[in-house]
């Protein structure tokens, strides 16, 4: 299908280091004039890091926007300095957990809140791990721990895990494992 929207103008509403908001003046698919506001973010990453025992690296952190703790795989935004998206994943994993991995496999990407944001999360399966000291930033307060992969799948199914990138990456990895396409 061709793009049914026409953009006739745009203005920047807000910008901080993590996101910007722009409001476009548009002609909608029905031919009427309207506005479409877009929250722009750099691509993000999420990493399912699994050690030789089959345990997954998880972080629990307070999610300010939701006002609750959330158990997640290491996730984060890319930075302009990251040479590519897998480098961003390596950096985030090292920052949040101290882990470095020798084996990387893409689990594809997901579009979050795609009616309103440009957030694309790139997911990876990382294995063959070495654990060093984490380097958490001042705006992060994380608890890092390990759980067996089957238990993490259970938590993604029963609601103990609710973060979208974690759910997509863990369930993808589990189905690929059942189909014999990855070994965990």
* Residues of this chain, 160-179, that bind a copy of itself according to CB under 8 A: 162-165, 167-168, 171-172, 174-176, 178
Determine, following the binding rule CB under 8 A, whether residue 180 of this chain makes contact with a copy of itself.
no
Contact 50, 126 (CB under 8 A): yes
Residues 9, 83, 133, 138: which binds a copy of itself (CB under 8 A)?
138
Q: How far apart are CA 48 and CA 149, in angstroms?
A: 10
Both tokens of 140, joined, read 């992060």
Q: C-beta of 130: minimal distance to a copy of itself in Å?
A: 27
Q: C-beta of 107: minimal distance to a copy of itself in Å?
A: 9
Q: Which parts of 91-110 interact with a copy of itself (CB under 8 A)?
A: 108-110
Checking DSSP bridges between strand 75-77 and strand 99-111, what pairing results, if any? Answer: unpaired
Checking DSSP bridges between strand 120-131 and strand 44-49, what pairing results, if any? Answer: parallel
Question: Among 53, 73, 45, which residue's Cα sits nearest to residue 156?
Answer: 73
Determine, following the binding rule CB under 8 A, whether residue 6 of this chain makes contact with a copy of itself.
no
Determine, following the binding rule CB under 8 A, whether residue 112 of this chain makes contact with a copy of itself.
yes
**Phi, psi for residue 55 in degrees, rounded to 5:** -90, 145
Q: How far apart are CA 184 and CA 176, in angstroms?
A: 10
Residues 140, 148, 150, 151: which binds a copy of itself (CB under 8 A)?
140
Determine, following the binding rule CB under 8 A, whether residue 66 of this chain makes contact with a copy of itself.
yes
Residues 79, 84, 111, 128: which binds a copy of itself (CB under 8 A)?
111
Residues 64, 81, 133, 180: which binds a copy of itself (CB under 8 A)?
64
DSSP-based three-state secondary structure for 44: strand
């Amino acid at each position: 299908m061709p793009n049914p929207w026409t953009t006739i103008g745009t203005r920047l509403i807000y910008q901080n280091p993590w996101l910007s908001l722009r409001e476009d003046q548009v002609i909608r698919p029905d031919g009427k004039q309207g506005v479409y506001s877009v929250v722009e973010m750099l691509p993000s990453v999420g990493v399912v890091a699994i050690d030789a025992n089959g345990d997954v690296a998880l972080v629990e952190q307070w999610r300010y926007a939701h006002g609750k703790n959330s158990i997640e795989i290491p996730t984060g935004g890319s930075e302009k300095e990251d040479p590519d998206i897998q480098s961003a994943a390596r950096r985030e994993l090292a920052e949040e957990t101290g882990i470095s991995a020798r084996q990387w496999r893409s689990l594809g990407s997901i579009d979050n809140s795609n009616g309103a944001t440009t957030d694309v999360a790139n997911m990876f399966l990382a294995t063959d791990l070495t654990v060093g000291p984490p380097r958490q930033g001042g705006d992060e307060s994380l608890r890092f721990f390990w759980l067996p992969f089957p238990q993490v799948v259970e938590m993604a199914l029963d609601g103990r895990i609710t973060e979208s990138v974690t759910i997509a990456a863990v369930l993808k990895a589990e189905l690929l494992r059942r189909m014999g396409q990855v070994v965990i």
